[in-house]
């Protein structure tokens, strides 16, 4: 099984502040969309809530929640544990991406072998209070594929340097 993590982080691997992503980059949204097209995406219930509670189109959306177990095409596939999420994901025979948030990234990094980490890193500290627990990764063999671009943060209306596609292969 090929398990991939995709995230957008600030310079300290921060991913959110006050329950929200404190930036918005059109280019990163497009990068995320292109990368995850026609794949299986696995997310935590709070990340689902942050996506307006609708599945992202052209992807198999799996949501992990201890409380709900709804399976309805309109609402994505709801499962009670990360292990069930992986079992369901495997059935599609597609690439699998873990798309967040903090709790779900941490659980998968601690408990499974991650084949690749696809990160967009923003060259700025957004003073986040939730992080990608990158220090827990077992595969430390890091390759950095730099593709830098200056982009506009539409929330803060300022230019930032983004580095796309850092891949840490197994």
**Applying CB under 6 A, which part among 8-16, 52-60, 135-143, 159-167 lies near ligand NAP?**
8-16
How many whole angstroms separate alpha carbon 121 and alpha carbon 132? 11
**Residue 128's closest CA among 47, 8, 34, 1?**
8
Please list, in sequence order, all residues whose beta carbon lies within 8 angstroms of the beta carbon of residue 30, skipping any fewer than 6 positions away. none
| Binder of ligand NAP out of 12, 20, 26, 138 (CB under 6 A) | 20
Residue closer to ligand NAP, measured from CB, 20 or 33: 20
- Shortest approach of ligand NAP to residue 44 CB, angstroms? 2
Contacts of 60 (CB under 8 A, 6+ apart): 39, 40, 41, 77, 89, 92, 94
Site string for ligand NAP, 66-105 (x = CB under 6 A): xx------------xxx----------------xxxxxx-
Regarding 107 and contact with ligand NAP (CB under 6 A), the answer is yes
Beta bridge partners of 158: 153
| Contact between 65 and ligand NAP per CB under 6 A | yes
Contact status, residue 119 vs residue 13, Cβ threshold 8 Å: no
Q: Which residues bind ligand NAP (CB under 6 A)?
A: 7-8, 15-16, 19-21, 43-47, 50, 64-67, 80-82, 99-104, 107, 130
């Amino acid at each position: 099984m090929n398990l991939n993590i995709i995230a957008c982080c600030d310079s300290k691997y921060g991913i959110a502040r006050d329950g929200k992503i404190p930036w918005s980059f059109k280019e990163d949204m497009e990068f995320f969309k292109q990368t995850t097209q026609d794949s299986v995406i696995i997310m935590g219930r709070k990340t689902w809530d942050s996506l307006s509670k609708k599945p992202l189109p052209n992807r198999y959306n799996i949501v992990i929640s201890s409380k709900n177990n709804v399976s309805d095409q309109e609402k994505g596939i709801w499962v009670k544990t990360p292990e069930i999420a992986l079992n369901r994901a495997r059935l599609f025979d597609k690439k699998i991406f873990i798309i967040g948030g903090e709790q779900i990234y941490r659980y998968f990094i601690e408990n499974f072998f991650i084949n690749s980490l696809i990160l967009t890193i923003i060259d700025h500290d957004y003073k986040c209070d939730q992080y990608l627990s990158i220090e827990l990764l077992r595969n430390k063999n890091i390759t950095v594929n730099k593709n830098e671009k200056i982009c506009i943060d539409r929330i803060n209306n300022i230019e930032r340097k983004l580095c796309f596609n850092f891949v840490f292969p197994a």
